[in-house]
Amino acid sequence: MTVGVVMLCHASLHRAAQVARHWAQAGCPVVIHLDRRVAEADRANFAAALADLPDVRFSRRIACEWGTFSLVQATIEAATRMLQDFPQAGHVYLASGSCLPIRPVAELEAHLAAHPHTDFIESVTTADVGWTVGGLNKERFTLRFPFSWKKQRQFFDRYVRLQRRLGFQRRIPEGIVPHLGSQWWCLTRPTLQAILHHPDRARHDRYFRRVWIPDESYFQTIVRQLSTRVESRSLTLSKFDFQGRPYVFYDDHMHLLRRTEAFVARKIWPQADQLYDTYLAPATETASRPEPNPGKIDRLFAKAVERRTRGRPGLYMQSRFPSKARGANRAAAPYGVFEGLDDLFSDFHPWLARVAEARVHGHLFAPDRAQFSGGEPVFKGGLSDSASLRDYNPRSFLTSLIWNTRGERQCFQFGPGDVQDIAPFLAGDPNASIAIVSGAFAIPLWRSGRSVPEIRAEAARLQKIEADFIALLQGPETKARTRVWTLADFVEDPVEHLHQIVDDLNPRAPHRMTELPRMVDLSGFGGFLQELRNQGMQPVLMGEFPAVIEMDRIGRGMVRPQLAR
């Protein structure tokens, strides 16, 4: 007993001829169905190329269109011919002209000989199908599809929608339980015979003529009534992209094809000389096959689909630029933004770098230059500290910075003295965690030693900017995680608030805040605020700051030994 091969061919006929010759020379009878739309000259060449092989036959030609019953009809024609002409064929393998046997034919024959009564055909009920594109699985059997999907796509889609809305349903004939699966199967002679000579064959054909893509359901459905043993997997490796189009294998897939358990792969790029030369060579040196690992192949293709449909979040580049509605407002990784904390604590940067294990920058959006960590003039990826380059496109600046440093948490200081153009992006970015001690901008003003009338306008301006930023963060579009304390609240219990900040940044980190940053001595700050009021400014963002502050008490709290929680 041997395996007979039915080949459906319509293009790249020189490759199809090579493959047919390979099958035939290995002792497998071949019946070829050639699309009737192939030009006569091409057909003649093709037939001439195979004329010397007695066990290669051609079946009656049907004009084939993808998605229609013509493909099933063509398969039936060729399979009938196969059963008639070649009684030695114990199994029949359905392949296409762009399929390539990637394991020696002898291995396939051995495999089939070991399972003489098994039909290898992927056959899954419509409820369990996960791969169909466009949501059409059960509906393939219950709607009508008079329009060509390829040529009349608009009509096709509209008619489907119309039928859904009207609740139209075709009746599925009795005895038919819709199953779907790969078009490429390998059936035993008795099963195939039973399908072709089924007493209800005419009724089946009439029904499937109006089913959508019947080549993925005709045999897959009927085999369930007749087969004694179905192994629901295809022996052909065939992968589809997210739009349901088959992937093509190229020369550089050689290593991949070696890892598959399948016997045949499709589709092969017609110009993949190396693949054709290697796999169609006489089977001698293919003994050193590595251990099959189909999972690896599945993962690779799943990754490709993900890259095509979801992309790499936070990457903005020439072939990925999501529109506003598609969640474009996002950096590649979580990062921390701190406002006011470096005004309140004199050594906030080094402290944060130690406890959060993060890269801590200064004011990245300072008006004069971007203060990269360590004062670097050019940061990772070639980002310049030039303020004009940064301000030309601040969103690209920030997303590039976060993208370039994937794997390392980034933190930077922000404040009302900085260029604010980036603020809406920060607020809308779910990867941003923003901690603000509002009103702290007044501390450096107070410490500058300048007179209050001099400072008053500046303080009012900064307060306005900070208030706008906080209002933005409280808006409905905000996706950033934000914590806003007034200066008075923060000073009330700085340790607890610092804990919250570190937890937000690094929730899974062990709590080992063994040291705390040094707080600026605020004695007299309350008086400064009163002086601002006296000058006609209303300092509101600082909260109810006490007129007299006990720095001793706060100081004691700051050195309090940390209790394990």
Contact positions with other proteins (CB under 8 A) in 248-267: 248, 250-253
What is the CB neighbour count within 10 angstroms for residue 484? Answer: 19
Question: Which of 169/271 has CB closer to other proteins?
Answer: 271
Q: For the segment 444-483, give every residue that binds other proteins (CB under 8 A).
A: 458, 461, 465
Q: Which of 149, 156, 379, 469 binds other proteins (CB under 8 A)?
A: 379
Q: Smallest distance, Å, CB 360 to other proteins?
A: 18
DSSP 325: G
Binding segment for other proteins (CB under 8 A), chosen from 162-170, 202-210, 301-309, 524-532, is: 301-309
Class of residue 422 by CB neighbours under 10 A (exposed 0-12, middle 13-18, buried 19+): buried
Q: Where are the beta strands (DSSP E) in 241-308?
A: 264-266
- Report d(CA 356, CA 371) in Å as an integer: 19
Question: Which of 168/242 has CB closer to other proteins?
Answer: 242
H or E, element range at 379: strand 378-379
- Report d(CA 395, CA 401) in Å as an integer: 10
Is 384 a binding residue for other proteins by CB under 8 A? The answer is yes
Question: Which of 99/222 has CB closer to other proteins?
Answer: 99
Is 380 a binding residue for other proteins by CB under 8 A? The answer is yes
Q: Smallest distance, Å, CB 254 to other proteins?
A: 10
Is 14 a binding residue for other proteins by CB under 8 A? The answer is no
- Residues 505 and 411 sit within 8 Å (Cβ to Cβ): yes
Q: Which of 317, 471, 509, 547 binds other proteins (CB under 8 A)?
A: 317
Binding segment for other proteins (CB under 8 A), chosen from 157-165, 212-220, 349-357, 412-420, is: 412-420
- Report d(CA 31, CA 58) in Å as an integer: 6
Is 388 a binding residue for other proteins by CB under 8 A? The answer is yes
Binding segment for other proteins (CB under 8 A), chosen from 11-19, 185-193, 234-242, 532-540, is: 234-242
Q: For the segment 349-378, give every residue that binds other proteins (CB under 8 A).
A: 367-368, 376, 378
Dihedral sign for Cα atoms in the order 363, 366, 370, 375: negative
Q: Which distant-in-sequence residues (6+ apart) come within 8 Å of 451 by Cβ? A: none
DSSP 31: E
Name the pairing type of β-strands 124-125 and 100-101: unpaired
DSSP H helical ranges for 30-117: 40-49, 70-85, 105-114
Q: Smallest distance, Å, CB 382 to other proteins?
A: 3
The distance of Cα 465 from the centroid of its chain, to the nearest Å, equals: 40
Is 316 a binding residue for other proteins by CB under 8 A? The answer is yes
DSSP 88: T
Q: Which of 156, 425, 446, 469 binds other proteins (CB under 8 A)?
A: 425
Q: Smallest distance, Å, CB 102 to other proteins?
A: 16
Question: Which of 302/509 has CB closer to other proteins?
Answer: 302
Q: Which of 393, 474, 523, 534 binds other proteins (CB under 8 A)?
A: 393
Question: Which of 223/455 has CB closer to other proteins?
Answer: 455
Q: Tell me which amino acid residue 161 is.
A: R
